[in-house]
A = this chain, B = another copy of it.
Amino acid sequence: MDSISLSEVTVIRRTHLGFMHSFKQPFSGVTRSPKFCSSKVEGSNAISSSVSSTKSQFGKGESLARIADSGYKMNGVNLKNRTLISSVKERLLLDVYDDEYGGVVVDHGKLPSNPYEFSSMLRNSLLNWRRKGKKGVWLKLPVEQSELVPIAVKEGFEYHHAEKGYVMLTYWIPEEEPCMLPANASHQVGVGGFVLNQHKEVLVVQEKYSTSLNTGQWKLPTGFINESEEIFSGAVREVKEETGVDTEFLEVIAFRHAHNVAFEKSDLFFICMLKALSDKIIIDNLEIKAAKWMPLVEFVEQPMIKGDKMFKRVTEICEARLRQRYCGLSPHRLVSTFDGRPSSLYYNVVDGNDDDDPSHSTCTADFY
C-alpha cells in the first residue's frame, strides 16, 4: 500500500501554504532554477543505462511489478491472488506517498533494512514511476540507514539537502521536461543590535574570535538567529547573551544582503534598534572579550566607523532615527486566513495604518 507517516504528510501539506507565493514552495512543482537538478551525476548510471541494465537484470521483477500493479487496481481478483500479488508488490516496490504535483515521496519509515533489497526495490520503483508518468522523486534517508546513500546515488539520485538526522535525495524522471524541483534553503540570517541607553551611550563589544582586521575593535553585538526564531526576539537574545543587558526591540532600520558568505550561501543581516532596559554588563566569556557603554559621539568617531561607507551609513541612519528623521520597519504578528500560519510582517508605522496594534512604537516615538 502507498502510505506514509502522519508527520510526513503534515510536513508536505504545510509546504503548500505560504503567503502569496505558496505555489512556489517545495513539492509545488515550481522551482527557481531548473539547473539545480537537470544534469546527471558524473560517474553514476545515467537514466537510460540504468533503465536498460535494470531491464536485463531485473526483468522478472519488472514483470512481477507490472502484474502486481495491475492486480492491485483490478476488481474481481479472488482474495488468495490478491494477497499473493500484494505481498509480491510490497517486496518489490518502495512505499510512497503521491505529492500534489505529479511526484512521489518515498516513505522513509518503511525502507528495507537490507541494502540489496533496497537496491532492487529502488530500481523496480523507478521503472514503475516512469511508467506511471511520475515527475519528481523525494527520497529521505535517515542517518541510521546511511548505507543506502551510495545505492541511491548509483541509481542516479542527487543530494538535495541534509540535516543532522537525514540526507534528502531527489530524482527528476521526465527527460523531456526541465527539472522543476525546488532548491534548498539559500540564506543564513544574522542580527545586529544598536542598543542605546538613557545617557545616549551605545552598547559595544570586543570579540574573542576575530580576524586580524578587527582585533580590538568595538562593535555592535551580533549573531545568527536560531532555528524558527523571530528577528526581533533573536536580536534581544543575542544582546542579552553577549552582554547581559535587557532590551526592548524597536525596529529593523536597515538590512544587508551579501552572497557567497558561508558554504556558498547568502547572508541577510538585519540591523536592529533596541532600547536598553538595564545597564549592568555581564559578558559571555565564551565569545566576548569585553563589553561596555560607549558615548554615541565617541562611537561615531571611531576610525573603523568613520572610514567605512557601510558602517558610516548605518550609524547615520541610527542617528537619524534618534532625531525622529528616519523610520525603520517594526514587526507585527499577523495570522493570514490564507494559510493560518502565524507570522511577522515588518513594516513602517505611518498614516494611522496601525490601528490594530496601537501599543507598538512608531517612528515618532522618543527613545527615552
Binding site for B on A (CB under 8 A): 11, 14-33, 36-37, 41-44, 100-101, 143-144, 146-147, 149-150, 153-154, 158-168, 180, 182-190, 192, 207-211, 213-214, 219-220, 222-228, 230-231, 253-269, 286-287, 304, 307-311, 313-314, 316-317, 320, 323, 325-329, 331-332, 334-338, 341, 343-348, 350-351, 353, 356
Contacts and interface: CB of A to CB of B under 8 A. Distances in A.
15 contacts: A11-B264, A20-B220, A24-B223, A25-B262, A159-B163, A159-B167, A162-B162, A167-B167, A184-B185, A185-B186, A258-B344, A308-B337, A309-B337, A320-B350, A325-B350
A18 to B, nearest CB: 6
A316 B350 CA distance: 11
A256 B23 contact: no
A258 B158 contact: no
Given A269-B19, A313-B334, A143 B147 contact: no
Given A36-B164, A101-B209, A313-B334, 6 more contacts: A26-B262, A160-B164, A163-B184, A308-B337, A309-B334, A310-B338
A262 to B, nearest CB: 4
Contacts of A344: 256-258
Given A15-B261, A165-B159, A326 B341 contact: no
A346 B264 contact: no
A302 to B, nearest CB: 12
A24 to B, nearest CB: 5
A309 B24 contact: no
A308 B336 contact: yes
Nearest to A332: B313
A228 to B, nearest CB: 4
Contact of A336 (B225, B286, B311, B336): B311
B162 A153 contact: no
A190 B158 contact: no
Contacts of A186: 185, 187-189, 224-225, 227
